[in-house]
Amino acid sequence: MSTPLDVNIARISHLRWELELEAVALGANKTLHMPKHQDCELGIWLHSRGQQQIENRSLLEGLLSWHKQFHQTAELIMLHGPSTQSPPLPKGKMDELLAQLRSSSRHIVTLLTQAELEFYGDELKIPSTSQPLAKFVTRLFQGPHTAASETIGILEIGHARLVHLQWANHLPDTFRNRGRHVSLEPAELCALGVWIHGTGLKRFGQINELVLCDQAHTAFHTRAAETLRNLRKHRDEHADRAYAEVLNLSKEIIYLLSVIEYRLLGDAAISRFSSIIS
């Protein structure tokens, strides 16, 4: 079983819109013809094949809601961008819109990754203690030997994204009963950390988002450990704050890995593939 190609096209196409809108919000004097939320690549997929492919209805409703919010924010950014004649926004308002755009996008990309993970089901497994981690990471990320180098890169990043979310989804079980008799892997020993430092930075270190991802991943593990310590000391408010940061950092990691996929594909390939959806 393989994940449907169109969900990944929709996700990467969405990122292209977001990055172009960020450029507008940051002052780029450019004109975008932003489609309505039902008419962009992701919107077309969500309102057609996505309805059948996402069995988790709560997840689908969340995607539809965040995607609509993303476009509402995008419309305001485009309305008040430097290439328009609209009156300038109050000081700080464009920064506020940009923060809303980024938040919506990170929720969207994480939910799409969750939908992809649920589609795979048990086919993507975290290594057991009887399976050496280095061997697992090599098998997981090496890609088919017949694939082109660009294709292998996309496969590696896609696997990294799914493995991280799978690991993050197990954290509530770890924190149950205040984490008694459990321990968390340090950042450098989990599957994503091993890949980043063993292969990722060597092959894709020129892509700034991977460096940022490494930093976010380290912070993610630090905050997860902090959550566990506070739970064991019955400092529940501190644990809640640390766990909120864990969730935000997890979204950031998934987002950054998706941006790396976008960088590897390039605009020409994305435009060509997007015709499959529209």
**What would the CATH number be for the domain defined by 5-123?**
1.20.120
Q: Does pLDDT of 178 surpass 80?
A: yes
Residues 39-87 pLDDT 10s: 999 999 999 889 988 989 999 999 999 999 999 999 999 888 776 777 7
CB half-sphere exposure, 118, CA atoms < 13 A: 15
* Residues making up the chain, counted from first to last: 278
Distance, CA of 174 to CA of 162 (rounded, Å):
19
Q: Which pLDDT band holds residue 137 (cuts at 50, 70, 90)?
A: very low
Mean pLDDT, the chain, integer: 83
Q: Is 116 helix (H, G, I), strand (E, B) or coil?
A: helix
Alpha helix ranges (H) inside the chain: 5-25, 41-46, 49-53, 57-79, 93-120, 133-141, 149-169, 171-175, 191-195, 201-204, 208-232, 236-265, 267-274
180 contacts: CB under 8 Å, gap ≥ 6 = 232
Residues 118 and 7 sit within 8 Å (Cβ to Cβ): no
pTM of the model: 0.85
Q: Class of 133-271 per CATH?
A: mainly alpha
Of 19, 79, 5, residue with least CA distance to 276: 5
Residues 94 and 23 sit within 8 Å (Cβ to Cβ): no
Q: What is the pLDDT of residue 131?
A: 40
Other CB atoms within 10 A of residue 39 CB: 12
Residues 212-243 pLDDT 10s: 999 999 999 999 999 999 999 999 999 999 99
Cα 19 off chain centre by: 14
Residues 1-49 pLDDT 10s: 344 557 888 899 899 999 999 998 888 767 788 899 999 999 999 998 8
Of 104, 103, 213, 195, residue with least CA distance to 152: 195
The domain spans of the chain are 5-123, 133-271
Fold matches, 5-123 and 133-271: yes
Distance, CA of 102 to CA of 135 (rounded, Å):
36
